[in-house]
Amino acid sequence: MRPVHPEFVPDASLSRAEMERLQRDIAEVAVFEDRFDFDPEAVSAGAGDAEQTQLGGTVSGDDPPVVAGVDQAFAADGEQAVSAIVATRGGEVIERVHAVEPTEIPYVPGLLSFREGGAILSAFEKLAVEPDLAVLDGSGRIHFRQAGIATHVGVTLDVPAIGVAKNLLCGRPRESLDGHLPEGARVAIESDDGVTAPPGTVIGYAYQSRQYDDPETRHVNPLYVSPGHRVSAETTTDLVARLCDGYKLPEPTRLADSYADEVKADIGE
DNA sequence: GCGACAG
DNA sequence: ATCTTGTCGC
């Protein structure tokens, strides 16, 4: 698929001020509400039993939604960015594509999409299937200007997108995240000064996708999920919950992660 | 000046 | 993100 908004394609040669201006423009176009066609409850990680046939026909009317996991890896001392996309439907891989692009700028908190966005969009151009949802590694609305990489990519392609991060970029948890949150726990992340949203706006959630039983032994950190485009913060969390099949990270993300590493290994030869 | 910062 | 072996625990 190709950009629906060419004017939003990340340009690494822009000045920092221009990048921030573009992010504000993107945030204005972004939709942080549910505006998609598929059934959220039809999204799943492992291949479920929705494939059963009856007299040659499928029991369920239509196919499960197509979810595209996106992740990056870097090679050649960080000079090459590998973007990998793995598309799944009902937990089954239906397509894998990747793109390798030179990295033009270093990582700067808040400007991640200008470093990795180019490779990601190149990979999406090779993707034949039209995903119902894109799952990006990083934040969406949990961003200073409400335009993290999930929002940037989602708006540019105008595809429903969500962001899944392992660390919190900004915002403030409504409750302390210290201690061990039980599996399935959700804590709202609100905007504070430093985020271009009315103070107190729920810009995402800390979601405990996985946890050990005994708090004394080991603990897992929560994920920080947020809307990218066309998905609300609540639904974003619901979707991530459905995609994390007993693991900390969503299945599509894990698949894209390993595929990116696979490609990186093939490059170093 | 201090603090804070996805991948 | 990346450089990296073993090791603890379910």
Q: pLDDT truncated to tens, each residue of chain A (269 aa)? A: 999 999 999 999 999 999 999 999 999 999 999 999 999 999 999 865 544 444 434 555 689 999 999 999 999 988 999 999 999 999 999 999 999 999 999 999 999 999 999 999 999 999 999 999 999 999 999 999 999 999 999 999 999 999 999 999 999 999 999 878 999 999 999 999 999 999 999 999 999 999 988 777 678 999 999 999 999 999 999 999 999 998 999 999 999 999 999 999 999 87
Which two three-digit tokens encode residue A239?
């979707």
Beta strands in chain A (DSSP E): 53-54, 57-58, 66-75, 80-89, 92-102, 133-137, 161-165, 172-173, 186-190, 202-207, 223-229
- In angstroms, the CA A44 to CA A52 distance is 16
Binding site, annotated residues of A:
71, 137
Question: Is-contact A112 A142, C-beta < 8 A?
Answer: no
- In angstroms, the CA A154 to CA A152 distance is 6
Task: Judge if the beta carbon of A77 is closer than 7 A to nucleic acid strand C.
Answer: no
What ranges do the domains of chain A cover?
Answer: 6-46+65-267
Three-state DSSP state, A140: coil
CA of A95 to C1' of B2 (A): 49
- In angstroms, the CA A200 to CA A185 distance is 20
Task: Judge if the beta carbon of A166 is closer than 7 A to nucleic acid strand C.
Answer: yes
Helices (H), A1-137: 16-29, 112-126
CA of A66 to C1' of B5 (A): 33
Distances (CA, A) of A1 to A114, A157, A158, A168, A193: 19, 8, 10, 30, 36
Task: Judge if the beta carbon of A78 is closer than 7 A to nucleic acid strand C.
Answer: yes
- State the residue for tokens 């271009």: A196
- In angstroms, the CA A143 to CA A157 distance is 19
Q: Residue with CA nearest B5 C1'?
A: A109
- In angstroms, the CA A238 to CA A19 distance is 31
Which two three-digit tokens encode residue A52?
């059963």
Which chain B nucleotides are covered by protein, judged by CB under 7 A?
Answer: 3, 5-7
CA of A63 to C1' of B6 (A): 33
Which chain C nucleotides are covered by protein, judged by CB under 7 A?
Answer: 1-2, 9-10
Binding site, annotated residues of A for Mg(2+):
71, 137
The residue among A167, A174, A175, A165 whose CA lies nearest residue A200 is A174
Q: Is the domain A6-46+65-267 a CATH 3.30.70.270 member? A: no
Nucleotide nearest to A217 (CA to C1'): C9
